[in-house]
Structure 1
């Protein structure tokens, strides 16, 4: 008898990635001799040993993912993979890991389109078992009844997941915040989550990324004014770097460019791909016009807006090339400005500082969200106020913080405790969270690690 697979009287949660770290989310839910995977993500420019995350001399790899060997060895008991949204830290490892699993993949149309293109780039485009699921749909997947719930984040079709079993219900938030004015999609719907009180939710597995921050996360709509103010004052070229997947931010930027008489161009393949996906799935407004990047070098400086990849200092991205004056399509000059419409992800401080230093040496103005009074970036994750409200809405018996370092998860657990949640379980990748027949953690149940997908 394999004691590493739960029986019909057991309900388990087992994170393989993303618990005790930010990124590489990979979660397993176990019940009745079956497993269900939620998300399969990757991270970038990271070492294979988590202890080396803060060591500048440690060898890093371009793309890193969780070691999925535990579930690969038990693939016959894996019912499927559920993907919550299209961010790389939730889908970036699928093309590498899925071939060894071979199970169906369930996700919404936007994420499915992003995923198909990733498979195509890897030369895999036939007989892919991608099952498109409409938002707010419920499906039976093995012994799990899975419900997709609209939630607000920073790209199209983000979904929270409700997993119902014969032993109880688990609410998996995935990435989220309370946004009542999203640029894309519907506003946050409180009713979806207060309705869960009737089901007496056993556990809430919750995003911890911003749990150290008081108050509420800023609405995506607020960026429009801040970015517009800075861009309206600019006299030269404007370069804005942001996360390519943030389609709402891209729409805001191109809207500002079109309204202010600037030609907007995309510098970076990931940006071009994401806008293409948005067009195909009906999320890109027809009236928003983009200019081909090859035309930008011939236009007057005050008529140019460049949206560039590289907000985290990636060496091969467009922003780094612009900072080094090595981009084939445009040179920056004194009097231009660069806006980082993003946050600094921990671990990326030094490469970002290098880019900023080079820009300032050339007398190019730099604006960062951390150092300007204008709102030029809105996180897609919940602050303490968002967390408190969600715990009040759902009223789970157990809080399981994930998607954060230890300090973030402890802070999340404290919010849950203040909201009256009976138990808070803080663990790490490889720990087994046993929810039925009793609530407990079995530490280091699985040996976990990282694998390099690209050098």
Structure 2
């Protein structure tokens, strides 16, 4: 039976890897390792929905496989604090109820999330030191410090009796990260002496030649750009990129400006960073009420909203409806971030709104004011040369990224490469690594304070209503099953007001004709009446508009 193989074979000589999220896609990371009767989870993240899922903001992996085995779940290790690695913890932990392990900064951010869900006192969260070593069930864990676009990214060395795995998490090799420790080259090189069984690694930039670049280079370029601006400046970047926040703060000081933070997540990240020992020694931030007391060329706004999020601070500035802060003609917005695939349209709409307001736009198309947090091809090659695993398992990428990563591993003479998708049960040991099973893997949507499968009838009907409209019909039947009065028909998202009366009359005729054609037995069957009335409405609307609306029919009888 599907999924039973691994459950029956988690012996002392066996080691399995099972991705339930983040493999075949970017985001929603959920990785499982199985050994000696236990499971270890690495990361538990979310992604954000787009306009194709109306009313839904957050998506996450379907964790049903491990929920059904939660008695065997030894713990959850978090590699770093990005939403696609920790964001699902408050939503899914109540179904998992396992210990959680994280370093200081990640733990600080997670505690705030848990508090919002009323879980702060329930979740057993253990804060572990950088480069820490600890046990989780039969798994011996060592953290190796790397660099990324957030403080304290960790590779996870997972040692078992069946072999050792390096789970890289998100990383790059930044020689001058500015905030936090540098990557631990010595520990990475030392892994080659351990005969590492497998490296499970980040594939995001496997198609990008060269290296990601250093945060120190961004600081130099931002300084050059901002020093030439003469009015108020807003800088939009990912709030989680603490090194970028520090860069903006230092550049502001060097160019004679004071910083004002805009956006809830910006304030939250800064609080966590300061609490964890980062962002030290800067001038006090301006409050929103203070900035108008300073000349415009002495103010810098550090904003959320670089991806065009409609409720973020930058969109409110673009629309001119921020309650306390405004941008004027001749001010500038600096986008120090990359475009996340899928956000292109939202970002263009935002930038067009800013341009129409007379605000200058500066982004990485013309200036080197952003670097990626993920390894380019040369960095991947370097990692394989250091670690020298026997098996490469690309994760954290779409199919094209995984294939490119596997090719790099092959060129680096890694003996085996396994390209898989969410739900693929990979047996790493004993014997040759291979996919041995496929378990259910899907997505959950957070909708109206509840979790629903993405294929839920609620989600599907919501999508259909948004794209096709809706119609509701009430028919009253007498004791003979004939219409008693006019049908009551209402629609949403179908007709323009000036045409609605005429179109409703046509729907009325279609409903009457449908009821009239029913046989005596069908007239006494509510389901039969609902079916033919619904069909009549959908066919009529399809003929008029080319749409097939969601149709609700209510039958009332007087006998």
Q: Normalized against structure 1, the TM-score is what?
A: 0.95
* 3-state SS of 1:182 partner: coil
Aligned counterparts of 1:286 and 1:73: Cα–Cα separation in 2:
49
- Using a 3 Å threshold, how does the CA distance of structure 1 residues 288 and 380 change in structure 2: closer, same or farther? farther
Contact 2:144 2:184 in 1 (8 A): no
1:403 to 371, 396, 399: 396
Q: Does residue 306 of structure 2 align to residue 304 of structure 1? A: no
Aligned counterparts of 1:444 and 1:58: Cα–Cα separation in 2:
31
**How far did residue 321 of structure 1 move?**
0.7
Aligned counterparts of 1:297 and 1:206: Cα–Cα separation in 2:
48
Aligned counterparts of 1:348 and 1:38: Cα–Cα separation in 2:
27
* 3-state SS of 2:247 partner: helix
1:383 to 368, 376, 387: 376
Aligned counterparts of 1:125 and 1:171: Cα–Cα separation in 2:
30
What are the residue-to-residue correspondences of 1:102-251 with 2, within 5 Å? Answer: 102-251=97-246
Contact 1:297 1:331 in 2 (8 A): no
* 3-state SS of 1:234 partner: coil
Aligned counterparts of 2:356 and 2:437: Cα–Cα separation in 1:
49
Greater relative contact order: 1 or 2 (C-alpha under 8 angstroms, separation 6 or more)? 1
- Using a 3 Å threshold, how does the CA distance of structure 1 residues 240 and 108 change in structure 2: closer, same or farther? same
Let me know the Cα RMSD of the aligned residues.
1.5
Aligned counterparts of 1:406 and 1:215: Cα–Cα separation in 2:
21
2:6 to 1, 4, 22: 4
**How far did residue 45 of structure 1 move?**
2.4
**How far did residue 65 of structure 1 move?**
0.6
* 3-state SS of 1:61 partner: coil
Aligned counterparts of 1:96 and 1:191: Cα–Cα separation in 2:
38
Structure 1: give runs of 5+ residues left out of the alignment. Answer: 47-55
Structure 2: give runs of 5+ residues left out of the alignment. Answer: 449-559
Contact 1:181 1:221 in 2 (8 A): yes
| Corresponding residue number in structure 1 for 2:47 | 43
Aligned counterparts of 2:155 and 2:261: Cα–Cα separation in 1:
31
**How far did residue 442 of structure 1 move?**
3.0
Q: Does residue 421 of structure 2 align to residue 428 of structure 1? A: yes
Q: Which has the larger radius of gyration?
A: 2
Aligned counterparts of 2:207 and 2:5: Cα–Cα separation in 1:
37
Aligned counterparts of 2:101 and 2:242: Cα–Cα separation in 1:
22
Runs of 4+ in structure 1 off by over 6 angstroms are: none
Matched pairs, number? 444
1:19 to 19, 23, 32: 23
Q: Does residue 355 of structure 2 align to residue 347 of structure 1? A: no
- Using a 3 Å threshold, how does the CA distance of structure 1 residues 368 and 422 change in structure 2: closer, same or farther? same
Aligned counterparts of 2:52 and 2:40: Cα–Cα separation in 1:
37
| Corresponding residue number in structure 2 for 1:356 | 351
Contact 1:431 1:441 in 2 (8 A): no
* 3-state SS of 2:402 partner: helix
| Corresponding residue number in structure 2 for 1:319 | 314
Contact 2:391 2:433 in 1 (8 A): no
**How far did residue 124 of structure 1 move?**
2.1
Q: Normalized against structure 2, the TM-score is what?
A: 0.77
2:432 to 413, 416, 439: 439
Aligned counterparts of 1:444 and 1:66: Cα–Cα separation in 2:
18
- Which one has the bigger helix percentage? 2
Contact 2:55 2:447 in 1 (8 A): no
